[in-house]
Amino acid sequence: MEWVETTGKTVEEAKEAALDRLGVDEQDAEFEVIEEPRSGLFGRTRGVGRVRARVVPRAPRSKPERRKRSRSDKGGRGGGEDRSGTGSASSGEDRTKSSAARAEKSARQASTSAEERSQGKGDSGRGGSSGRGPSSKSGSGVRPAPPDKEREVMDTAEQCDVVTTFLDGLGRAFGLEVTANAQIEDDVLRASIDGSEVGLFIGPGMATLDAIQEITRNVLQRHAEGREYAKVVVDVAGVRQMRRDRLAAFVTDAARQVLDDDVEVVFEVMSSPDRKVVHDTVAEIDGVASSSIGESPRRRVVLSAAG
């Protein structure tokens, strides 16, 4: 499968775009991060996220049979026949005879080689008359796929220490006394910042908090040095959970309107995490379905009566 290259406002959006082009789930794709956007502390972003992706090969590519055919067909092409019309009649006849002799010899060699190969395949675990010993190839001529090498997983305590150290240092850079905590649950590293005046880290529409979360993820990625690490979620004084609860309550009221008035409800543009809250909430309500419309980053969620 050929590689595709996509861009997005963030690396995650670039990956989503790549998955749309490939038409596969994330676990069936392989990514290479080419460029990461540089995020400021106040929601400003420089550059874009750029990734290369392809479908993970499930089996090794078959060895082309063209080489075998070319080797066995060299003698049967009769190159002398095309050249027989040049020069004198006697020399043309000599060349024709010589070419015929070479063709016959090549045909015998090709036949012998084919017979030896067929005998070698029939000898299970032996090298046959070729004397090459046991073959590492299967009967189909395809080398078995090597086992996938799993990447080392970064220690959970090390991940939490990297994140809390960075967030504590960020608070000191702002001249604030903050306390950062982190723990990993279900492959998600949840970090929280508490202290005085931490509202400065939230920003309009949580833009500053989202920027801090992305920077924290980049810091952890650099320290991982190729190892696997958890997904990073940064919260300030529990604001994300409060927003989630309020959004879930709002979605419940909208779903009730869909059922009572038989109408569609279209929400404003939402981020991917907020859309997930909507979908998860609607999934627990009978008779209502949710779907996303529009292109990222201006995607919306629509509630409608379930078919």
pLDDT at 61 over 70: no
pLDDT-derived band of residue 38, with 50, 70 and 90 as boundaries? confident
Written in H, E and C, the secondary structure of the chain is: CCCEEEEECCHHHHHHHHHHHHCCCHHHEEEEEEECCEECCCCCEECCEEEEEEECCCCCCCCCCHHHHHHHHCHHHCHHHHHCCCCCHHHHHHHHHHHHHHHHHHHHHHHHHHHHHHHHHHCCCCCHHHCCCCCCCCCCCCCCCCCCCCCCECCHHHHHHHHHHHHHHHHHHCCCCEEEEEEEECCEEEEEEEECCHHHHCCHHHHHHHHHHHHHHHHHHHHHCCCECCEEEEEECCHHHHHHHHHHHHHHHHHHHHHHHCCCEECCCCCHHHHHHHHHHHHCCCCEEEEEECCCCCCEEEEEECC
pLDDT-derived band of residue 264, with 50, 70 and 90 as boundaries? very high
Query: What fold does the segment set 155-237 form as a domain?
Result: GMP Synthetase; Chain A, domain 3 (3.30.300)
pLDDT at 292: 92
Mean pLDDT score, 184-207: 89
pLDDT digits (tens, 9 = 90+) for 64-113: 544 554 455 444 444 444 444 444 444 444 554 455 555 555 555 554 55
231-236 and 188-195: which strand pairing? parallel
Between 136 and 5, whose confidence is greater? 5
pLDDT at 109: 57
pLDDT-derived band of residue 230, with 50, 70 and 90 as boundaries? very high
The percent of residues in the chain predicted with pLDDT above 70, rounded, is: 67
CATH 3.50.50.60 fits 242-305, yes or no: no
pLDDT at 40: 57
pLDDT-derived band of residue 12, with 50, 70 and 90 as boundaries? confident
pLDDT at 287 over 50: yes
Give domain limits for the chain: 1-55, 66-127, 155-237, 242-305
Cis amide prior to 297 (ω within 30 degrees): yes
Q: How far apart are CA 163 and CA 170, in angstroms?
A: 11
Is the separation of the CB atoms in 128 and 119 below 8 Å? yes
The whole-chain average pLDDT of the chain stands at 76
